[in-house]
């Protein structure tokens, strides 16, 4: 809320968002304006007064929070009636990538990459299906020459890694849809120990945002009972690309060392003509 509060018409819009989150999550600005008894411009101004670029940004956050309050069967029910689920899933991912591109925050990406580059080590927590994003992030960041470890094996491993964090380290929490309690606890503990904390998520949950120096928002809504990881994967790839540009010589040296070791271990399948596939 702004320090001076909201004007009466904007307060009416906010009341609608709170009292009817489902309709607000999926309705158009025209529908919400009619329900709140205001014009469309007031809906947009309300979103801006609450700190968002406009109504689409606020609606994304609201819908992410609304869906996080539902169980998996309830989320699936919300998306019933899709003619071609496969086609709808592809279109949703394309829309999410377009939205991520429009809201791309280069300063946030640069801050995150530079923090990782300056850290003694970086711990990435990503559980469940989100682990795929965390594993790819850590794998590519290590190839770029930095000590980045993904923790995906459960609470005991997370507790052990968190216990070793210091003010020289970075902690990255990756979570979409519903937060794991262990992720929130670890982020809080990492901050208490002086580590720099960053979050990659689809909704700025107060529990996670309170511990994070920077919250990097990505759309993650799918078309069935699980969230989409496409935009999240694109974002961490962007962070790694920026990370590789921090110290190109270091990254080049690291990649060359890895390539030499792949050859020594004879890891890669030889294509006809003697060339090798790149690592997965």
Q: What pLDDT digit, counting tens, does each position of 43-100 carry?
A: 999 999 988 888 888 888 888 777 777 776 776 676 666 667 788 888 888 888 888 8
Tokens 């294509």 correspond to 271
Q: What pLDDT digit, counting tens, does each position of 168-177 carry?
A: 999 999 988 7
Given this model, what pLDDT does residue 279 score?
57
End-to-end CA distance of the chain: 46
Instruction: In whole angstroms, give the CA distance from residue 125 to residue 175.
Output: 8
Q: Is 86 exposed, middle or buried (0-12, 13-18, 19+ CB in 10 A)?
A: exposed
Instruction: In whole angstroms, give the CA distance from residue 261 to residue 191.
Output: 36
Instruction: In whole angstroms, give the CA distance from residue 240 to residue 117.
Output: 10
Which pTM does this prediction carry?
A: 0.74
* Whether the Cβ atoms of residue 177 and residue 279 lie closer than 8 Å to each other: no
Chunked mean pLDDT (size 10), the chain, 280 residues: 85 85 83 86 91 85 77 68 77 84 90 97 90 94 96 85 95 86 91 96 79 89 81 95 96 93 83 61
């Amino acid at each position: 809320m702004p320090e001076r509060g909201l004007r009466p018409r904007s307060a009416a819009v906010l009341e609608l968002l709170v009292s009817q989150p489902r309709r607000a999550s999926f309705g158009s600005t025209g529908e919400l304006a009619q329900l709140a008894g205001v014009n469309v411009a007031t809906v947009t101004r309300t979103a801006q007064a609450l700190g968002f670029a406009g109504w689409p940004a606020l609606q994304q956050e609201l819908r992410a929070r609304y869906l996080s309050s539902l169980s998996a069967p309830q989320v699936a029910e919300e998306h019933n009636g899709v003619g071609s689920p496969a086609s709808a899933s592809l279109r949703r991912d394309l829309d999410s990538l377009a939205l991520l591109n429009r809201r791309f925050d280069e300063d946030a990406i640069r801050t995150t990459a530079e923090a990782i580059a300056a850290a003694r080590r970086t711990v990435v927590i990503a559980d469940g299906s989100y682990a795929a994003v965390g594993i790819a992030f850590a794998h590519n960041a290590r190839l770029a020459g930095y000590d980045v470890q993904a923790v995906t094996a459960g609470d005991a491993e997370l507790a052990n890694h968190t216990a070793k964090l210091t003010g020289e380290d970075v902690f990255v929490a990756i979570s979409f849809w519903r937060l794991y309690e262990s992720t929130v606890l670890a982020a809080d503990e990492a901050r208490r120990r002086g580590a720099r904390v960053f979050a990659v998520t689809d909704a700025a949950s107060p529990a996670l945002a309170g511990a994070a120096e920077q919250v990097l928002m990505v759309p993650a809504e799918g078309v069935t009972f699980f969230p989409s990881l496409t935009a999240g994967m694109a974002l961490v790839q962007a962070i790694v690309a920026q990370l590789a540009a921090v110290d190109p010589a270091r990254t080049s040296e690291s990649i060359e060392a890895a390539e030499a070791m792949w050859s020594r271990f004879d890891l890669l399948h030889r294509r006809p003509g003697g060339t090798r596939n790149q690592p997965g």
